[in-house]
Amino acid sequence: MSAKERILFVTGHLAESPLREVLAVSAEGADWSWDVAVLGVSVAALLHTDLVARRLELPESIDRIVLPGWCHGDLRVLGDSLGVPVDRGPKDLYDLPAYLGGEGRRDVSLESYSIEILAEINHASRLGEAELMAEALLLSGSGADVIDLGMVPGESWPGVESATRQLVAAGLRVSIDSFDRTEVEAAIAGGAELVLSCDTSNLDWLSPLAADSGTAVVAIPEMTAGLDSLDPVLHRLQSDGVDLRIDPVLEPIGLGFAASLERYFEARRRWPEAEMMMGTGNVTELTEVDSAGVNLLLAAICEELRIGSVLTTEVINWCRTSVAELDFSRRLLHHCLKNGVLPKHLDSSLVTLRDPSARGERAGALEQLAGALTDPNFRIFVEHSDRRRGLLHVMNRDGHWQHTDPYQLFDMVAAAGTELSAEHAFYLGYELAKAHTALTLGKRYVQDQALSWGWLTVEETSAVHRRRAAEDS
């Protein structure tokens, strides 16, 4: 039986107690053991590999050192000087269980996918050439495989051929969403590879045009007639040798949504090998709800039914990132179906409003920490209370204040006679705003770190490291 790996965790003295609590639980039944080294700093954010090299007394039989995520400096140089591998752990010590291989995120590859994304540029004819190109490149960069030119019914677009040709020349794949023969012919001449859509109203001219040009088409049913109306369309397109995909048409919630889902299932039963497409905009654009979850559910239906193409739009504000959401969803869902696993504990990128867990500090631990402080620097914490409203905490050597209202909390700090410079007041207000948001939504809050908004998170540089960078420059 091989000996357990012994890991040395380095920290500041204020984090020692919670670190030991986390490690004691995490190490139960694990293939590693642990020790803690407390260096002469109060907070881990002040650690640097140079300081670690000077102050760390390495115990015997240590196989690996884990530094706090905030610790800056060259790990390789430190490891060479100590003769032990050195890793940088998570910034939040409560993320250590996942980091150490316990319950939490699993490393998975999300490179593969099976769904093609068509991103429609709504009213493309009303955009200038430069604006159209910029929008197309933005959508492509977000994950779109095909740029769909959405026309305006009743308006002609003389420039559609030129616009299509420019997009194709830029390396983009293009489709045209129009029932107007002149526009479709022009777009195909410019290099469009797909036409949305074909039904009995345009079948007689579109089928031979698509056959002659090698252009694919999307076949849709007559809504009043159901899927049976697709039979003559499919028969003609197939007879002419046209590459096609079927879109049974997704309806808005309240206007036939459930029945339209049934059409997709029925279409797959009728034509088990047919290429299919789903346009999601009737649900995402016409339902006033954040789009990420909706996009994932619709993509899940597509993945299970082998619907290989999804058409989306980013018109209304709550859908402004639909392409990127579908791009992530298709990768995650492909992995799940391929490996027979749930879309859980794999990647939390689409959890944007709340966090996978809402860990807050415990009241007893906060009281203990407050009693140990000897400097004037403010520490800010969020204490979540199950599903009830929790508390905001502010503390330094001069006191420990708590409240649900950040304004009241600021007044309590000021009333205690604490001197607040403009810099400190701004900092306190900024951090309390983040903490209050975390308290309101049930999110995790870690001082000097950005709140997590999934894939929308914008990392921030802490005040400590901003000052350090200014001093070094």
- 231-241, pLDDT tens digit by residue? 999 999 999 99
User: Both 282 and 308 in a single domain?
Assistant: yes
Q: How far apart are CA 165 and CA 170, in angstroms?
A: 9
User: Both 94 and 127 in a single domain?
Assistant: no
Q: Which residue has the tokens 């959508």?
A: 139
User: Both 24 and 93 in a single domain?
Assistant: yes
Phi-psi region of 37 (alpha: psi -120 to 50; beta: other; left: phi over 0): beta
- 350 assigned to some structural domain: no
Q: Is the dihedral of CA 141, 147, 153, 159 positive or negative?
A: positive
Q: Quick count: other Cβ atoms within 10 Å of Cβ 91? A: 16
DSSP state of 228: G
Tokens of 350: 């689409």
User: Both 94 and 123 in a single domain?
Assistant: no
332-381 per-position pLDDT tens digit? 999 999 989 899 888 889 999 988 876 667 777 788 888 888 888 899 99
Range of the domain at 57: 5-99
Mean pLDDT of 397-421: 91
Cα dihedral 162→167→168→174 (10° resolution): -100
For residue 405, pLDDT over 80 is answered with yes
- 109 assigned to some structural domain: no
Q: What's this model's pTM, rounded to 2 decimal places?
A: 0.81
204-226 per-position pLDDT tens digit? 999 999 999 999 999 999 877 78
3-55 per-position pLDDT tens digit? 788 999 998 877 888 888 888 888 888 888 899 998 877 766 668 888 888 88
User: Both 407 and 455 in a single domain?
Assistant: yes
Mean pLDDT of 163-176: 97
Q: 102: helix, coil or strand? A: coil
Question: Across the strands, what pairs with 56?
Answer: none
- 151 assigned to some structural domain: yes
Tokens of 86: 């050195």
